[in-house]
Amino acid sequence: MPKKISHSDISLYLMPMYRSSSKSCKVCNKKLNSRIKMIVFNEKYMPIGFSCKYCHSIYVENDILIGVGNPDKVDIHGET
């Protein structure tokens, strides 16, 4: 997982960087569409994927989950 990830308010609908076929979030199970999938950027401000608008879980190409988010937008630190 990249060292720093910046969440945005830019949806895949406005900036179609990735093709995503997922219909629901694997973490919170809410329905997803291109308006709810938000672009995320790495430390160099390059788009790396998208996040769920509800729980902020991060996905990359081919809808691979790389970061589990939480709905309170609280950063979680530690080891898993």
pLDDT tens digits along 60-69: 888 899 988 7
Measured between alpha carbons, how far is 1 from 15 in angstroms, rounded to an integer?
22
Measured between alpha carbons, how far is 59 from 8 in angstroms, rounded to an integer?
14
Q: Mean pLDDT over residues 54-80, rounded?
A: 74
pLDDT tens digits along 32-55: 998 999 999 988 888 989 999 998
Name every residue whose Cβ is closer than 8 Å to that of residue 25 and which is 6 or more positions away in sequence. 32, 52, 54, 55, 57
Give the residue carrying structure tokens 């569409």.
33
Instruction: Give residue 78's pLDDT band: very low, low, confident or very high (50, 70, 90).
Output: very low
pTM of the model: 0.76
Task: Give the residue among 32, 76, 29 at the shortest CA–CA distance from 51.
Answer: 32
Measured between alpha carbons, how far is 69 from 20 in angstroms, rounded to an integer?
18
